[in-house]
Amino acid sequence: MEADLLVTTFPTMTEFQRALTALNAIGVACGRIDPTPALSLVAVPAIVMGREERSALESAAPDIAFSGWVDYHIPKVAMPDGPAPEDAAQSGCFRRAGIMVLGPCVADDKKIRLIAHLEGELNPLLPYLNAVLPHASYTPKAETLTFMDGYRMIALFPRRITIAKADEIVDAWLTLERIRFLAEQTWRDRDRIAPSFETRKKPPALEIFKRLPGTNCARCGTPTCLALAMHIWTGETAVRRCLPVFEEGGTFSHLREPLLEICAGMGITGVDYR
């Protein structure tokens, strides 16, 4: 049954194969989701199995590196046809991506979030992407570019990418491949693009930050209000983690409504605000 199954992903093909060998050795049946060649620069196969089988694998092979696991949902999107992308792995600025962290979005546990590490280096590309993406938010000092891909929230750093609110693993792979393609195309065309170092729009996280108390008391488990705002925006943390705002009789409870309003406006849903 879909609800009882987990999807487990791996940072590399080697770790996936080690897991498969270990499962065979202990006689555990599993399914797998294989990316097509068209996704081969951003994805390695994922394993689908029950919770008990997953525990058995962890006991049998505790040194295998997992990216993480999430509930299995039948993909709503089709895998793309076509060959593997040509030569980008050798020459491009993106090269390959490996998913290092995978988990459910804290703000909406029906969606998934991930952190992918890159073989390439995006920092020289960010001003060009800032020029071609009309709604991106670029912070040159922090070497970060954030933008929305539909309802998915993307943050690009020099050597990693975070994606929040992807639907399931195939949607996440497709999102990573769209980013890879955009990055490589923009890098190839950079002689015809005027790079932009302008921060056109306040990053969405700053809009959340402006409504937090600003005391940096760290009761939410992050060192600053800005850090919590960033985590709320990427879906990693629920807004109610700010106790001075959300606890009973909190000193900043007047900020509750403005915070809920801005989160709802950004489509950050599924949070237990009580």
| Contacting range for ligand SF4; rule: CB under 6 A; set: 23-31, 198-206, 207-215, 262-270 | 207-215
What contacts 27, CB < 8 A, 6 or more positions away? none
For the record, the structure tokens of 198 come out as 């302008």
Q: What is the DSSP string of 90-124?
A: HHSSS--EEEEEEEE-SS-TTSEEEEEEESS--GG
Q: Minimum distance between the CB of residue 258 and ligand SF4, rounded to whole angstroms?
A: 14
- The smaller minimum CB distance to ligand SF4, of residues 205 and 228, is found at 228
Q: How many residues bind ligand SF4 (CB under 6 A)?
A: 14
Q: Minimum distance between the CB of residue 214 and ligand SF4, rounded to whole angstroms?
A: 7
Binding ligand SF4 (rule: CB under 6 A), the pick from 18, 201, 219, 256 is 219
Q: Give CA–CA dist 103/42, Å, rounded.
A: 17
Under the binding rule (CB under 6 A), the answer on residue 212 touching ligand SF4 is: yes
Cβ atoms of 154 and 144 closer than 8 Å: no
Under the binding rule (CB under 6 A), the answer on residue 256 touching ligand SF4 is: no
| Contacting range for ligand SF4; rule: CB under 6 A; set: 81-89, 141-149, 209-217, 259-267 | 209-217
Q: Minimum distance between the CB of residue 201 and ligand SF4, rounded to whole angstroms?
A: 22
Cβ atoms of 115 and 231 closer than 8 Å: no
In terms of DSSP H, where are the helices of the chain?
13-25, 51-60, 88-91, 126-132, 169-188, 204-209, 225-233, 243-246, 256-265
Site for ligand SF4 in 236-255 (CB under 6 A): 242-244
Under the binding rule (CB under 6 A), the answer on residue 215 touching ligand SF4 is: yes
Catalog residues that contact ligand SF4 under the rule CB under 6 A: 212-213, 215-220, 222, 225, 228, 242-244
